[in-house]
Chains A and B, each alone.
Chain A
Amino acid sequence: MYVHDAFDRTFLQERVAEFRDQVARRLSGALTEEEFKPLRLMNGVYLQLHAYMLRVCIPYGTLNSTQLKALARVARRYDRGYGHFTTRQNIQFNWIKLAELPDAMAELAEVGIHGIQTSGNCIRNTTTDAFAGAARDEIEDPRLYAEVIRQWSTLHPEFTYLPRKFKIAITAAKHDRAATRVHDVGLRLRQRDGHTGFEVMVGGGLGRTPFIGQTIRDFLPKEDLLSYLEAILRTYNLGGRRDNIYKARVKIQVHEMGPEAFAEKVEAEWQAIRDGALRLDETAISAIADRFVNPDLPPLADHPPELTAALAEPAFARWHANSVAPHKAAGHAIVTLSLKPVGGPPGDCTADQMDAIADLADRYAYGEIRVAHEQNLVFPHVRQKDLPALWKALDAIGVATPNVGLVTDIISCPGLDYCSLANTRSIPIAQKLTERFADDARIADIGRLHVNISGCINACGHHHIGHIGILGVEKKDEEFFQITLGGKGNSKARLGELIGPAIPESEIVDAVERLVETYLELRTSPQETFIAAVERLGIEPFKERAYAPR
């Protein structure tokens, strides 16, 4: 974990003081709502359907147990006893009062967390692999560079009033768990001739005009990371469109200029600044690396007897099969905590669960917790011999549903239950799907399948990259849903294909079930996943069945 020091703490206190003053001016009328809006947005404060919403930044998804307890306190004291984890490794509180926001922020600042740049037209929280620092397939821990980017981008004086928001994601693993190709900038850590650097992708994004990011540099030496990012941001800040909010993301600029022309402009800008103050020499990098304190994992052997014995129990074995991932250190494992219970809103977590999870992290996971892009939590470092005891404890608090990576591990946006932009509800669709697919053995047989739901074209639920994507649209005041098939968010990212006209709310769960049944009938073997079958067969056979019995 990155350990905050006096500088970071002073900075956060200054930030809270500034926001307290801004809230006071808003409440007194010195600031109009229009003037206050960008200021509150820069602190993660949205005005939603029912109340102000606070989005709290969890830098690159890493929390310690003390921080999780602080989130639990805020949920209890200022909200209605729960929080909502998002696909951007953040947490949202939906019911906070404006006058109390500064106090809630001050409490969070004490443990080094805040809402800075979780909204507004600035550089947002850099996201990364929830398994960072633990994954067997990673080259290096990407959080070091995420932290480098966090510091550089925090209140960047040049890039706080961009044409639109700007999201950076970074991965260092073979399997891209950070969906880097659908971010404004995606960074893929690479090694070349013993030197660390990045593949740089730009212009990805979903929303109403989805694009897959284009690689504009194959290998950027790590020393040049910040100067190159600054060159991209400057090119965007000066040249991105500001005439139309729907065309203001960098993806549109890249698309309209063409990736080659965009890359040339960036390159020219970069040549002018690359040897300047942003160059990351070894001292600069190691100064940040030194502030990461990683747990000392004891040397242990894989498959301890405690684990082998527990695997004889089918319920444990089922959970183990989808919730436990290999760790780079022998004798350890990565555990995903499912926030997708049957019938529950995806990503919600109560204050009591947060407290219990924090205690379990202290006991079994070196006090470290991650927020995953899939709206789950992760214990990155667990001793394999502790897995049976941990499983029982997680199950007792409702976060051991054995559905990680399966059809009911649904990513969903808040939709009409909270969001003022929504066309349709999305949480209730997710809840109904989890009820339809409540049988653990059945979903294990169906295997890996990502379902993503967005309540409108803004695509917060990433429906374009769901194996099954569900998008809420409104027709004559009724809720309808479009289905896309074959989307993927990993390194071979691809947008899903629309299967046909939108389906009314009352039929959407049946339609999804028919798609799944079609797959089960057509797969060559249980080893062929849903997405592989869609890729082999195309959408035709699925399309016919989705609409079949009328």
Chain B
Amino acid sequence: MPLVKSGTIIADPFTAVADDAPLPDGPTIVSAARLLANKEALFARNVALGVAWPNNRDVAELEPLLPRLALVALAFPKFRDGRAFSQARLLRERYGFTGELRATGNVLRDQLLMMARAGFDAFELEKAADAGTVHRALTSYSIFYQPTGDGRRTAAETRRAAKGRLA
């Protein structure tokens, strides 16, 4: 499962831990339940902390904790299950999360651009063979019709800007 961030394959600095496992020293990803049960202790450790948030739980619950979280991992248990697309946009656009937003689970190259547009910046790819194609997947389109928080200009905005120049 290669991890791709900002377009390149990187070694994962985080360790995801099971709920009953002891915490490792470095950056750690815990479950939502463990985070909510022990938040003060976990934040007090002073190492980068991430949470694996399930796709059937309201991300509004996370809002007060976001400034202290380095990472939120959202799940695609099946690539067909697209709830995390909405969660990602809410985290970025409504709650202003600026840390790493990681897509996990059944993450395939044909979904990457949409994930990026929804606010994900890190992808745990399910297939190693997809790693070399990430750049291509992320640049396969130059035209976007709807605004999201990713800042890409929409076709309508580009049209308007072009008109302005001509006028």
Chain A residues within CB distance 8 Å of chain B: 5, 7-8, 10-11, 14-15, 17-18, 22, 30, 35, 38-39, 121, 151-162, 234, 237-238, 242, 272, 277-278, 283-284, 287-288
CB distance from A248 to the nearest CB of B (A): 11
In the bound complex, do residue B160 and residue A283 qualify as a contact, i.e. CB atoms below 8 Å apart? yes
Any chain A CB within 8 A of the CB of B31? no
Contact B159 A5 (CB under 8 A): yes
Q: Which residues on B sit within 8 Å (CB–CB) of A237?
A: 82-83, 85-86
Shortest CB-to-CB span from A512 to chain B, Å, is: 41
A161 and B80 contact, CB distance less than 8 A:
yes
- 3 smallest CB-CB distances across A and B, nearest first, come from A161-B82, A157-B117, A11-B143
Q: Which of B117-150 contact A (CB under 8 A)?
A: 117-118, 129, 140-148
Whether A35 pairs with B108 at a CB distance below 8 angstroms is yes
Q: Which chain A residues lie closer than 8 Å to B81 at the CB level? A: 161, 242
For residue B155, CB closer than 8 A to chain A, the reply is: yes
- Is residue B39 contacting chain A, with contact meaning CB distance below 8 A? no
| Distance A5 CA – B140 CA, assembled complex (angstroms) | 19
A-contact 0/1 string along B69-91, CB 8 Å cutoff: 00000000001111101110100
- Contact string, B27-58, partner A, CB cutoff 8 A, digits 1/0? 00000000000000000000000000000000
**From residue B85, how far is it (CB to closest CB) to chain A in Å?**
5
A176 → chain B closest CB, angstroms: 28
Tell me, yes or no, whether B18 is within 8 Å of chain A by CB: no
Q: Which residues of chain B come closer than 8 Å to A238, judged between CB atoms?
A: 83, 86-87
Are A152 and B145 also in contact (CB < 8 A) when A39-B110, A287-B156 are? yes
A14 to B140, CA, bound (A): 7
Residue B6, interface by CB 8 Å: no
A284 adjacent to B94 (CB under 8 Å): no
Please indicate the chain A residues that have their CB under 8 angstroms from the CB of B8 in the complex. none
B129 → chain A, closest Cβ, in Å?
7
Instruction: Tell me if B65 counts as interface (CB < 8 A to partner A).
Output: no
Instruction: Find chain B residues with CB under 8 A from A156 CB.
Output: 145-146
B10 contacts which chain A residues (CB < 8 A)? Answer: none
Give chain A's interface secondary structure class. Answer: helix
User: Quick check: A151 and B85 within 8 Å, CB to CB?
Assistant: no
**Nearest CB of A to B135, in Å:** 14
Q: What are some 25 contacts across the A-B interface (CB < 8 A)?
A: A7-B143, A7-B158, A11-B155, A14-B140, A14-B142, A17-B140, A18-B140, A30-B129, A38-B80, A121-B80, A151-B145, A152-B145, A155-B114, A155-B145, A156-B145, A157-B115, A157-B117, A157-B146, A158-B86, A158-B89, A160-B82, A160-B85, A161-B82, A277-B147, A278-B146
Contact (Cβ within 8 A) B143 A10: yes
Q: A14-B140, A14-B142 are in contact. Are A234 and B86 (CB under 8 A)?
A: yes
Given the complex of chains A and B, what is the CA–CA distance between A288 and B94 in angstroms? 28
Complex formed: what's the CA distance from A288 to B85 in Å? 28
Q: In whole angstroms, what is the CA distance A35 to B111 when docked?
A: 11
State the CA gap A22–B89 with chains docked (Å). 27
Given A157-B85, A234-B86, A237-B86, is A151 in contact with B143 using a C-beta cutoff of 8 Å? no
Q: Which residues on A sit within 8 Å (CB–CB) of B87?
A: 238
- What CA separation (Å) do A283 and B114 show in the bound complex? 27
From A151, which residue of chain B is reached at the shortest CB distance?
B145
State how many angstroms separate the Cβ of A445 from the closest Cβ of chain B. Answer: 50
Min CB–CB distance A479 → chain B (angstroms) = 33
Chain A neighbourhood of B108, CB < 8 A: 35
The answer to whether B146 and A152 touch across the interface, beta carbons within 8 angstroms, is yes
Given contacts A121-B80, A234-B86, 8 further A-B contacts (CB under 8 A): A7-B158, A14-B140, A38-B80, A155-B141, A156-B145, A157-B148, A161-B79, A238-B83
User: Which of A153, A158, A278, A287 meets B85, CB within 8 Å?
Assistant: A158
Chain B contacts for A272, CB-based, 8 A: 94
Task: Please indicate the chain A residues that have their CB under 8 angstroms from the CB of B113 in the complex.
Answer: 157
Complex contact A154–B129 (CB within 8 A): no
Contact check, B147 vs A278: say whether CB atoms are below 8 A apart: yes
Residues of A within 8 A of B80 (CB): 38, 121, 161
Selected from B79, B143, B159, the residue in CB contact (under 8 A) with A14 is B143
Cα A469 to Cα B165 with chains together (Å): 57
With both beta carbons as reference points, the residue of chain A lying nearest to B141 in the complex is identified as A14
Q: How far is the CA of A8 from the CA of B142 in the complex (A)?
A: 11
A154 near B85 with CB under 8 A, answer no
Shortest beta-carbon distance from B64 to chain A in Å: 17
> With contacts A158-B148, A161-B81 known, is A11 near B129, CB below 8 A?
no
| Distance (whole angstroms) from the CB of B86 to the closest CB of chain A | 5
The one of B79, B85, B110, B147 in contact with A22, judged by C-beta atoms closer than 8 angstroms, is B110
Complex contacts, B118 vs chain A, CB 8 Å:
157-158
A410 to B41, CA, bound (A): 69
Task: Tell me the complex Cα distance, A277–B142, Å.
Answer: 20
